[in-house]
């Protein structure tokens, strides 16, 4: 396989396309598949390195009664000859090193134009999408079972001198039953002895990576990169094991790595400054020993193994074969315990009733009983379900335009005013509009505030379901402290102008509201959607290039 791929590359470089096609017939896999034998079904993923579709492949060499195959078609983004060499290497590796837990090569087209590769389609999708988009939560036994399979695939690669270099849940594909895992994307895999990745220069006296050479040659995904790689060392099998440890913890917590990490910095002035920037995160992982939060309910054996995988010293990490063996044993032990434990019991309605009755008694005793507004948005399967009480607001960015999804519950609304009057409530006129009761509440619905129930305040939420579209980029959720000084369209344009990370977007919105003199508390969340073919961050960046497409910062609110 390797010799055929190399010979085809030489023929293509010489301009002998026909000769390269003849050489393809010598391989054990079809390497000159015609695009006419492929029917695209739908897009699966779109990234900076490649685009993947589900497709139907009709093998012309197969018998007529053999049905076509459902495959994943990967078309690489080939900007340089280095990209093309990496793609050829991925095809060669998958063809030469088959393993039950590596994606199965069906064939490829290693001829210009339109290079592509076909692999067997895994109906379950990738673990990252299942975890963070579909709410999948594997049991601890299943987690260990899947982790053992991933470690087995890495052990196979390492035994043949190959380092994967991009181990992450997005590259872990599951079958329809979500019980069988295959490791994908060997596009940046490399022989462990290769000198392609040299030591990078460091800033003097800091131990921190620096220089353009490091940025050019450091490959992988930051959150999963081992500290020695972040400091400029070459990828090794041990760095793959580090990445696997991060993945195991992500499967256990269902949390993106470091998404809850906060800096301990006495110079911070607001809670929004507690998160890490990308550069700060690199330094904290590489030099400060920062690791993701472990799952609180994980058994000690699993947390101990994860800690061994991500220990700072590469030489102290276990080998892939040992990790596979330990996880397989844990999977069997945990499966037996889960069967003994049975299904979890529900909550206690009696306790809830007693607590509610106590709150009612407290309200009747006089004095204020604090309350809160609430805003909930559940994003799932291309739909958004909303529920809200009070004057928080959810705004959707649809094709660059702001679309309000909620309507505030205030005494100034005609429907709310009529309801309060029917309940015998008191409304008073104050600066800024009507207020409810003696407390002068600016909202007509809230959770709590039991002392104002006699004035018509209710806790009933309004609900709404919305079908999301590919052009829906993000949702902004914020309290009235933001909306008092900013229109919907202004908020959308600010996010489009920032759009690097949801936390950074929320921070900019809050800082802009404070700069405009907002005198109220401000809570803000920005949720990226990424429903189109692009990934979340690619949607953010590409749409950010058209930040004023929605009418500019001066556009009126809808």
C-alpha dihedral (443, 449, 451, 452), degrees to nearest 10? 20
Q: Is the pTM of this model over 0.75?
A: no
Is residue 352, in this structure, part of any structural domain at all? no
Per-residue pLDDT tens over the stretch 66-97? 889 899 999 999 989 989 999 999 999 999 99
**What's the CA gap between 67 and 76, in Å, rounded?**
27
Range list of H helices, 342-471: 349-364, 414-422
Same domain as 243, residue 135: yes
Distance (Å) of CA 290 to CA 118, 131, 260, 295, 347:
39, 23, 12, 16, 36
Q: Is residue 148 part of a domain?
A: yes
Of the listed ranges 21-35, 236-250, 320-334, 358-372, the one predicted with least confidence: 358-372
What's the CATH number where 60 sits?
Answer: 3.30.200.20
Residues 231 and 287 in one domain: yes
> Domain count of the chain?
3
pLDDT at 99: 96
Q: What is residue 508's three-state secondary structure? A: helix
- Average pLDDT value for the chain: 82
Query: Where is mean pLDDT largest: 68-77, 197-206, 209-218?
Result: 68-77
Residues 396 and 413 in one domain: yes
Mean per-residue pLDDT, 315-335: 96
Torsion of the alpha carbons at 252, 258, 262 and 268, rounded to the nearest 10: -160
Q: Is the pLDDT of residue 252 over 80?
A: yes
What number is the average pLDDT over the span 408-433?
82
Dist. CA 94–CA 110, nearest whole Å: 14
Same domain, 295 and 148: yes
* Of the candidate ranges 276-290, 339-353, 395-409, 472-486, the one whose mean pLDDT is the lowest: 339-353
The mean per-residue pLDDT over the stretch 10-34 comes to 92
pLDDT score, position 194: 53
The 8 Å CB, 24+ separation contacts for 41-48 are: 41/70, 43/533, 44/72, 44/125, 45/126, 45/533, 45/535, 46/532, 46/533, 46/534, 46/535, 46/538, 47/535, 47/538, 48/77, 48/538
* Helix residue spans in 310-368 (DSSP H): 320-341, 349-364
Residue span of the structural domain in which 11 resides: 2-120
Query: Do residues 105 and 29 lie in contact, with contact meaning Cβ atoms separated by under 8 Å?
Result: yes
Q: Would you say residue 534 has pLDDT above 50?
A: no
**Could you tell me the CATH number of the domain that includes residue 395?**
3.60.40.10
Q: Which of 146-155, 217-226, 404-413, 548-557 has the lowest mean pLDDT?
A: 548-557
Same domain, 392 and 527: yes
pLDDT for the residue 455: 80
Q: How far apart are CA 29 and CA 5, in angstroms?
A: 11
Q: Higher-confidence residue: 212 or 417?
A: 417
| CATH number of the domain within which 178 lies | 1.10.510.10
Domain annotation covers residue 248: yes
Give the confidence band of 188 by pLDDT, cuts at 50, 70, 90: confident
What is the DSSP-derived secondary structure letter of residue 132? Answer: H
Same domain assignment for residues 43 and 176: no
- What digits encode the pLDDT tens for the residues 350-392? 445 555 555 555 555 555 677 889 999 998 778 899 999 998 9
The reply to whether 299 and 434 lie within a common domain is no
The pLDDT tens digits for 462-506 are 999 999 998 999 999 999 999 999 999 999 999 988 755 788 889
Which pLDDT belongs to residue 475?
95
**Of the listed ranges 256-270, 408-422, 461-475, the one predicted with least confidence:** 256-270
Say if 298 falls within a structural domain.
yes
Q: DSSP secondary-structure letter at 80?
A: S
Same-domain check for residues 103 and 147: no
Residue that finishes a domain, picked among 120, 143, 159? 120
From 120, 148, 164, the end of a domain falls on: 120
The pLDDT of residue 70: 93
> 219: phi > 0 → left, psi -120 to 50 → alpha, else beta; which?
beta
pLDDT score, position 41 = 94
Question: 502 lies in a domain?
Answer: yes
Is residue 511 a part of any domain in this protein? yes
The pLDDT score that the predictor gives to residue 365 is 57
Cα angle: 63, vertex 64, 65; to 5 degrees: 95
Residues 163 and 225 in one domain: yes
What integer pLDDT is reported at residue 199 of this predicted model? 38
Task: Assess if residue 348 is contained within a domain.
Answer: no
Q: Is the pLDDT of residue 537 over 60?
A: no
The answer as to whether 310 is a domain residue is yes
Based on the domain organization, do 113 and 155 belong to the same domain? no
Q: Are residues 107 and 132 in the same domain?
A: no
Question: CB-based burial of residue 308 (10 Å sphere; 0-12 exposed, 13-18 middle, 19+ buried)?
Answer: middle
Least confident span in 83-87, 171-175, 217-221, 407-411: 217-221
**Directed axis angle between helix 300-309 and helix 320-341, to 10°?**
160
125 pLDDT exceeds 50?
yes
Indicate if the pLDDT at residue 261 is higher than 90.
no
**pLDDT at position 361:** 53
Judge whether residue 109 has pLDDT over 90: yes
Q: Output the pLDDT for position 278.
A: 77
Count of beta carbons in the 10 Å neighbourhood of residue 506: 24
Mean pLDDT of 195-206: 40
Same domain assignment for residues 88 and 167:
no
Q: Which helix (H) or strand (E) holds 117?
A: strand 116-120
Nearest to 437 by CA among 448, 425, 449, 445: 425
| Single residue among 120, 149, 183 that ends a domain in this structure | 120
């Amino acid at each position: 396989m390797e010799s055929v791929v190399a010979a085809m590359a030489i023929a293509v470089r010489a301009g002998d396309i026909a000769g390269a096609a003849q050489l393809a017939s010598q391989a054990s896999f079809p390497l000159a598949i015609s695009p006419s034998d492929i029917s695209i079904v739908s897009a699966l993923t779109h990234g900076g390195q490649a685009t993947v579709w589900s497709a139907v492949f009709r093998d012309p060499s197969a018998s007529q009664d053999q049905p076509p195959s459902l495959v994943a078609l990967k078309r690489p983004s080939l900007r340089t000859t280095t990209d093309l060499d990496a793609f050829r290497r991925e095809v060669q590796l998958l063809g030469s090193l088959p393993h039950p837990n590596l994606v199965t090569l069906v064939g490829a087209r290693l001829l210009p134009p339109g290079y592509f590769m076909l692999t067997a389609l895994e109906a379950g999708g990738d673990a990252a999408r299942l975890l963070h988009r579909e709410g999948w939560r594997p049991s601890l036994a299943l987690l260990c079972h899947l982790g053992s399979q991933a470690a087995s695939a890495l052990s196979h690669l390492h035994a043949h001198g190959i380092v994967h270099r991009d181990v992450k849940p997005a590259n872990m594909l599951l079958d329809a039953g979500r019980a069988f895992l295959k490791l994908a994307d060997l596009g940046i895999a490399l022989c462990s002895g290769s000198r392609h990745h040299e030591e990078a220069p460091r800033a003097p006296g800091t131990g921190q990576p620096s220089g353009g050479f490091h940025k050019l040659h450091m490959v992988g995904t930051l959150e999963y990169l081992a500290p020695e790689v972040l400091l400029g060392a070459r990828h090794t099998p041990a760095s793959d094991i580090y990445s696997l440890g991060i993945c195991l913890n992500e499967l256990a917590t269902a949390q993106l790595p470091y998404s809850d990490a906060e800096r301990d910095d006495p110079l911070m002035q607001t809670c929004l400054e507690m998160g890490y920037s990308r550069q700060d995160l690199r330094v904290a992982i590489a030099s400060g020993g920062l690791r993701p939060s472990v799952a609180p309910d994980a058994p000690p054996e699993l947390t101990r193994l994860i800690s061994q995988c991500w220990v700072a010293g590469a030489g102290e990490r276990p080998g892939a074969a040992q990790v596979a063996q330990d996880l397989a044993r844990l999977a069997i032990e945990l499966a037996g315990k889960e069967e003994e434990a049975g299904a979890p019991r529900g909550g206690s309605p009696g306790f809830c009733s007693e607590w509610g009755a106590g709150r009612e008694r407290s309200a009747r005793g006089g004095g204020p009983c604090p309350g809160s507004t609430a805003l909930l948005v559940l994003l799932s399967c291309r739909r958004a379900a909303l529920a809200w009480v009070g004057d928080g607001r959810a705004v959707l960015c649809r094709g660059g335009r702001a679309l309000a999804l909620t309507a505030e519950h205030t005494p100034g609304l005609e429907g709310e005013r009529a309801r309060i009057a029917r309940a015998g409530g008191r409304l008073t006129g104050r600066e800024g509009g009507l207020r409810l009761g003696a407390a002068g509440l600016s909202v007509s619905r809230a959770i709590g505030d039991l002392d104002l129930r006699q004035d018509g305040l209710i806790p009933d939420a309004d609900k709404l379901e919305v079908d999301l579209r590919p052009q829906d980029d993000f949702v902004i959720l914020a309290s009235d402290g933001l909306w008092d000084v900013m229109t919907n369209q202004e908020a959308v344009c600010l996010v489009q102008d920032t759009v690097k990370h949801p936390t950074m977007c929320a921070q900019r919105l809050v800082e802009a509201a404070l700069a405009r003199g907002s005198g109220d508390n401000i809570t803000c969340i920005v949720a990226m959607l990424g429903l189109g073919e692009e990934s979340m961050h690619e949607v953010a960046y590409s749409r950010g290039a058209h930040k004023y497409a929605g009418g500019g910062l001066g556009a009126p609110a809808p």
